[in-house]
Structure 1
Amino acid sequence: MPENGQPATRRQMIARTAALGGALAFAGNLTELFTGTAAAQNLGHRSYGPLIPDPNGLLDLPKGFRYRVLSREGDPLRSGEGLVPSNHDGMAAFAARSRDGHARVHLVRNHENRVTAKIPVPTVEGLTYDPMGKGGCTSLALGRKGEVIGERVAIAGTAVNCAGGPTPWGTWLTCEETEDRAGTNGYTKDHGFIFEVDPVDPHRTGAVPLTAMGRFQHEAIAVDPGRGVVYETEDAFLSPFGLFYRFLPEKPRGGTGSLRAGGRLQAMRVPGVADLSSVQETGTAFQGVEWVDVPDPLATQTPIRFQDFGPKGITHAQKLEGCYWGGGCVYFVSSFARSADGSSADHFGQVWRYDPSARRLTLVVVFGPDTDIQLPGESPDNICLAPGGGLMVCEDGNGAQHVFGVTRRGEVYALARGAQNIGTPQEPEWGEFAGVTFSPDGGTMFVNCYTPGTTFAVTGPWRG
């Protein structure tokens, strides 16, 4: 029993068990999620051990692991363009190109800044979309030893840059999680777009909205490297909820700037399923998934999720967030669903798998519920595949904030815990984790603390 005499919540039990080096389990078939060669040879690992409190009060890790703070909000950018912006969110790591000199890795980091942002992304000529937008991206260049040798603005004047995803040609697609129009909140241009960002030379991509990819509350994307199709999630938490999209580019796999050529935006329709929250059993699969052209991708009069998709309707889902590609399939996350908000049923998080070759959608992982300590914490957000075989989950909920690892056997363990108390000693609070990603060689995990904005590089005895 906690000190207040109330029964322990599932999240509290998970934190205690994980801190003691124990292992929990997901519901669902995790084998589907781990498709790399290393994963095929490795049935999964147990916990790396208990988390050790950090004497510096920043990040708790297991024994043998170390972190380096790469960047913190409010510090000067090495470029001299201003201060490191607030609200560190989605992120990806890229191998440096040969012309980069001493750089070995480039990180592109989102800043989910609204008009009230404490520290906005500095405006830079040639990289600013809307001078009144406070969001954007910054890019960090890392040297041979993982040290920061450069940090600069990569795009500015955008709004609420939440997540995104990498392209096969080495750029980052940053997503605006807003539908605000020009004249709203002081904006001078419409928002709700995707922008392409070159991590090495941002001026190569500039600040050009990819309008054909739709104007809605974007969250994340994943690219099918074979077909060039871009999958997109919509993070809408009010009914009618968001849609799962695919974009068919005019120039598939065309390289940097090719998405500006346009294409067709379509939304997923699962016959007979109006709301994905109504599906509760892992392993449930639907054949014959349909894709319907979006009537008005720019949402000139009506937000896309409100538009008329014909007598068969369209399939909605609450809080569609993380999205990634692996093993010939695209995976996407529904962070939670609440019937009180208008969902068909309640859940604490789902991971869905869409196989484009078979046109089959499968529910592969379920999170929660709050009373069941055998399942990991509610509200999964950013998710990535670990190089050695496993899943890393940034949990976005209440209380202590963790990066959870999940093995192929479905065992859950805490890999990191935030130690920066942004509340009070009496009522502590911790900022969520976001943007978990790995270096191209798999030896370093990068992750952000959203508040206070902090970017960590974590190294240690990774197995596999």
Structure 2
Amino acid sequence: MSRTTDARQSATRRQVLARTGALGVGITFAGAVSELFAGSAAAQGKGGYGPLVPDPAGLLDLPKGFSYKVLSREGDPLRSGEGKVPSNHDGMAAFAGRQGRVHLVRNHENRVTAKIQVPTVAGLTYDPMGKGGCTALTVDRHGNVLSERVAIAGTAVNCAGGHTPWGTWLTCEETEDRAGTNGYTKDHGFIFEVDPVDPHRSGAVPLTAMGRFQHEAVAVDPRRGIVYETEDAFQSPFGLFYRFLPNKPEGGLGSLRAGGRLQAMRVPGVPDLSAVQETGASFGGVEWVDVPDPLAAQTPIRNQDFGPKGITHAQKLEGCYWGGSCVYFVSSYARSREGSAADHFGQIWRYDPASRRLTLVIVFGPDTDVQLPGEEPDNICLAPSGGLMVCEDGEGAQHVFGVTRKGEVYAMARGRQNIGTPEAPEWGEFAGVTFSPDGDTMYVNCYTPGTTFAVTGPWHS
């Protein structure tokens, strides 16, 4: 994404601070943080695990007592022999396996210019001209990688997604390119289901009824089977927040292929969520409007006619997850100069299906010092100790930040792989943060250079 001159200048100061060791945590959070978390109150009282310790290997800084293992790096051979580990590691999820094993499914947000594409594999390839997809890793109880293989190929710009209650991964294409664009032979902009244990069971079938748009993330209501979807659009008109009502809400591998209804959220009187600035602001009577053309045959969904009342938009809708009885979703930022109604550095919204009420529960800034990192939250997950892990996707130094149940912010990890120069360093963003089913290991990706880490330590202390 292009950056303004002001943004580049602030990034330069951040780089200087990082080199001199003066870089601090620059997020402030406001709002009802406590409602998101459940866990040990004792673990929350510390405000994190202590300062980050510089990594002698120059890969990943962590607090004292924590360590990491590199599970996979782009360009290395896949253990399956199918080719090389692809570029651009993005969204990811962890699934329980037998005998303490963990199955990881990892997105590769590859465009046509990708350095290393996801290898095409018979039975797992949607469009041979697509460069993106997913790879799957199996890790034993000791953190050793047992297998690494292609899980789906021939898709495009696989950004985030979400896990299902029945143990599969929904990978999302963040593009609207049609067949004939960029060499593609098929339309793109779909969700695909991936079986983490045996990808050939799921194949490469687009879930067309779930819409064709710039998908980011999904979350599934485990009781009702409803799938919520975010649209990452940073140019006006901005994206929508969707729900998919499946014809087979009981779920199971392949059930989403049976179709259903795609609807978009309308908040009466709120055409743009960025206009809401106060935490705790709440709106009842949320409406869900059928999408006129889910396949966007002629017009992108966000541009379609939703009637005289219109529809509710928001810039950069990204992370999405289910917690308790509600769905939470992230607006990474809003900029009035780009068409938003107002500016913010990030929001987390909660939608309660039972009451049809939408509430702004967390605001990132605007009291944040923008010269420091912390703006633009992206992938988010709940931590087993009772907190939130946030992947930063801004300029300058890149972190995984933790947020305690009391709203205290701390740096959990800092990327050290310099993809710039010594004079003007740059660091790849973090993505795909997730925890093992037993809560003992945090898995996270560095987007560039594509690297998957397993982090262990005193998570429950």
TM-score w.r.t. length of structure 1:
0.93
Report matched runs for 1:274-313 at 5 Å: 274-313=271-310
Provide the residue aligned with 2:264 in structure 1: 267
Q: Is the 8 A contact 1:14 1:376 kept in 2?
A: no
2:74 maps to a residue whose letter is E
Give a deviation string over 1:138-176, Cα, whole Å, max 9, x none. 000001211100000000000000000000000000000
Q: Tell me the secondary structure at the aligned position of residue 257 of structure 2.
A: helix
CA distance in 1, matches of 2:80, 2:224: 38
Provide the residue aligned with 1:155 in structure 2: 152
CA distance in 2, matches of 1:380, 1:126: 36
Say which of 17, 29, 48 aligns to 2:32. 29
Q: What is the CA distance between 1:427 and its match in structure 2? A: 0.2
Q: What is the CA distance between 1:241 and its match in structure 2? A: 0.3
Report matched runs for 1:23-422 at 5 Å: 25-34=28-37, 36=38, 38-39=39-40, 43-96=44-97, 98=98, 104-369=101-366, 372=369, 377-422=374-419
Q: Is the 8 A contact 1:392 1:404 kept in 2?
A: yes
| Shift in CA distance, 412/7, structure 1 to aligned 2, threshold 3 Å | same
Provide the residue aligned with 2:3 in structure 1: none
Which stretch shifts more, 7-16 or 276-285? 7-16
CA distance in 2, matches of 1:238, 1:44: 40
Q: Tell me the secondary structure at the aligned position of residue 94 of structure 1.
A: strand
CA distance in 2, matches of 1:15, 1:350: 26
Q: Tell me the secondary structure at the aligned position of residue 361 of structure 1.
A: strand
CA distance in 1, matches of 2:100, 2:319: 29
Q: What is the CA distance between 1:388 and its match in structure 2? A: 1.0
Q: Tell me the secondary structure at the aligned position of residue 260 of structure 1.
A: helix
Provide the residue aligned with 2:5 in structure 1: none
User: What is the total number of aligned residue pairs between the two structures?
Assistant: 453
Q: Is the 8 A contact 2:43 2:460 kept in 1?
A: no
CA distance in 2, matches of 1:21, 1:400: 10
RMSD: 2.3
Q: Tell me the secondary structure at the aligned position of residue 204 of structure 1.
A: helix
CA distance in 2, matches of 1:137, 1:282: 37
| Shift in CA distance, 17/426, structure 1 to aligned 2, threshold 3 Å | closer
2:184 maps to a residue whose letter is Y
Q: What is the CA distance between 1:8 and its match in structure 2? A: 10
CA distance in 2, matches of 1:215, 1:186: 18
| Shift in CA distance, 288/13, structure 1 to aligned 2, threshold 3 Å | farther
CA distance in 1, matches of 2:43, 2:351: 24
Q: What is the CA distance between 1:40 and its match in structure 2? A: 6.7
Q: What is the CA distance between 1:459 and its match in structure 2? A: 0.3
Q: What is the CA distance between 1:294 and its match in structure 2? A: 0.3
CA distance in 2, matches of 1:24, 1:305: 31
Q: Tell me the secondary structure at the aligned position of residue 110 of structure 1.
A: strand
| Shift in CA distance, 437/10, structure 1 to aligned 2, threshold 3 Å | farther
Q: Is the 8 A contact 2:44 2:387 kept in 1?
A: no
Q: What is the CA distance between 1:18 and its match in structure 2? A: 11
| Shift in CA distance, 109/235, structure 1 to aligned 2, threshold 3 Å | same
1:87 maps to a residue whose letter is N
1:138 maps to a residue whose letter is T
Provide the residue aligned with 1:437 in structure 2: 434
CA distance in 2, matches of 1:33, 1:45: 18
Q: Is the 8 A contact 2:279 2:360 kept in 1?
A: yes
CA distance in 1, matches of 2:177, 2:307: 26
1:45 maps to a residue whose letter is K
Say which of 435, 452, 455 aligns to 1:455. 452
Q: Tell me the secondary structure at the aligned position of residue 55 of structure 2.
A: coil
| Shift in CA distance, 398/375, structure 1 to aligned 2, threshold 3 Å | closer
CA distance in 1, matches of 2:435, 2:10: 37
Q: Is the 8 A contact 1:46 1:411 kept in 2?
A: yes
CA distance in 1, matches of 2:406, 2:373: 14
Q: Is the 8 A contact 1:88 1:110 kept in 2?
A: yes
Which runs of 5 or more structure 1 residues have no equivalent in the other structure? 1-5
TM-score w.r.t. length of structure 2:
0.94
Give a deviation string over 1:399-431, Cα, whole Å, max 9, x none. 000000000110000000000000000000000
CA distance in 2, matches of 1:114, 1:39: 42
Give a deviation string over 1:443-464, Cα, whole Å, max 9, x none. 0000000000000000011136
Q: Tell me the secondary structure at the aligned position of residue 93 of structure 2.
A: strand
Q: Is the 8 A contact 1:19 1:51 kept in 2?
A: no
| Shift in CA distance, 429/372, structure 1 to aligned 2, threshold 3 Å | closer
| Shift in CA distance, 422/271, structure 1 to aligned 2, threshold 3 Å | same
Give a deviation string over 1:88-138, Cα, whole Å, max 9, x none. 000000001x4xxx6610000000000000000000000000000000000
Q: Tell me the secondary structure at the aligned position of residue 333 of structure 1.
A: strand
Which runs of 5 or more structure 2 residues have no equivalent in the other structure? 1-8
Identical aligned residues as a percent: 83
CA distance in 1, matches of 2:287, 2:152: 35
Which stretch shifts more, 57-66 or 367-376? 367-376
Give a deviation string over 1:327-357, Cα, whole Å, max 9, x none. 1000000001111111101111100000000
| Shift in CA distance, 17/227, structure 1 to aligned 2, threshold 3 Å | farther
CA distance in 2, matches of 1:461, 1:423: 33
